[in-house]
Amino acid sequence: MGNSVKLVISDIDGTLLNAKHNITGELKKAVKRVSANNIPVVLASARAPQGMYPIAKKLAIQSNPLVSYNGAYILKMHEQNELQSLKSHPMKKEAVIRIVETVKKKFTEISINIYAKNNWFVEKDDIWIKIESSITKLMPTKVHFDSLSKDETIEVHKLLLIGEKDEIQELVAYLKILQLEGVTFYLSKENYLEIVAANVSKETAVKELAGYYRISTKEILTIGDQFNDIPMLKLAGVGVAMGNAPEEVKKAATFVTTSNNNDGAAKALIDHVL
């Protein structure tokens, strides 16, 4: 199997990171061996670039592309803040404004986060933002969303709306009624609603990376644990679902490895790449 894989694309949370949000020594070793065979390992996440870069650095793959915001922004980072855009799929400003206004009027307890390239913008500091900040080890920039929407130079790559599970369910139902054009939304956790441009998905990112590396999607191995990973697990030549993934995600994969607390990603690399 190993010889046919020319590129590895992996999710981060619930996949490479264990429940304590750590990378194990076993994973570092496995990634090092894969890299030594001239097979790039690329991180693909709903996270912002600056929330991915430290993980890439720990795995010594920081010079490889990063697929951020679920594929809305593919880039290379040269040192922490110098960005080289490879692919950018920003949201339409009208959609961003409409969603933000809707949430502020009708869902006042829900936290609004706007991501643009390497920036994380918020209007106020609430408990959800504090939790997200502690997970990603990042600090948001406080701004007035009105001024943000008027700034033509800012490309919005993602909206993240966080709240109680039932509030988020209500919001999803409401947004469906609005029939917004040019956006797609999905839950990355049961209380995390991610909104990106309609053409954005990890599946599209896999195709774009295949083009970037001049290989077939059949020569790619993907690893993931969540519903937003299903398209890339199906498209790749080899799709590996984590042992901690929901049943539906496992069904979409070629193989199922052990959980993220049992070095499942390292095992996947050893079993199917090396």
pLDDT tens-digit map of 81-130: 688 999 999 999 999 999 999 999 999 999 999 999 999 999 998 999 99
The span from the CA of 48 to the CA of 144, in Å, is: 20
Asked if 260 contacts 14 with a C-beta cutoff of 8 angstroms, the reply is yes
**Set 11, 13, 229, 263: catalytic member:** 11
CATH code of the domain made up of 93-197: 3.30.1240.10
Residue 11 falls in the annotated catalytic set: yes
Give the number of other CB atoms < 10 A from CB of residue 157.
26
Q: Do the domains 93-197 and 2-88+200-272 match in fold?
A: no
Rg of the chain over Cα atoms, rounded to whole angstroms, equals: 18
Q: Could you identify the residue written with the tokens 């339409």? A: 92
pLDDT value at residue 168:
97
The span from the CA of 46 to the CA of 5, in Å, is: 24
The span from the CA of 190 to the CA of 266, in Å, is: 27
The span from the CA of 121 to the CA of 145, in Å, is: 8
Asked if 64 contacts 133 with a C-beta cutoff of 8 angstroms, the reply is no
Asked if 179 contacts 198 with a C-beta cutoff of 8 angstroms, the reply is no
Q: pLDDT tens for residues 250-266?
A: 999 999 999 999 999 99
Residue 1 pLDDT > 50, yes or no? no
> Across-strand partners of 77?
83
> Two tokens at 228?
């937003």
pLDDT value at residue 268:
98
The span from the CA of 244 to the CA of 142, in Å, is: 35
Q: Is 272 helix (H, G, I), strand (E, B) or coil?
A: helix
Q: pLDDT tens for residues 156-168?
A: 999 999 999 999 9
The residue-averaged pLDDT of 64-79 equals 93
Distant-in-sequence, close-in-space partners of 131: CB < 8 Å, separation ≥ 6: 162
CA dihedral 94, 99, 104, 106 (to 10 degrees): 130
Superfamily of domain 2-88+200-272: HAD superfamily/HAD-like (3.40.50.1000)
Segments making up each domain of the chain, as ranges: 2-88+200-272, 93-197
Asked if 113 contacts 121 with a C-beta cutoff of 8 angstroms, the reply is yes
Q: At what angle do helices 264-272 and 25-36 cross, to 10 degrees?
A: 30
Q: Among 28-42, 132-146, 190-204, name the one with the lowest average pLDDT.
A: 132-146
3-state secondary structure 60-76: CCCCCCEEEHHHCEEEE
Residue 213 pLDDT > 50, yes or no? yes
Residue 189 pLDDT > 60, yes or no? yes
Phi and psi at 43, nearest 5°, equal -90, 135
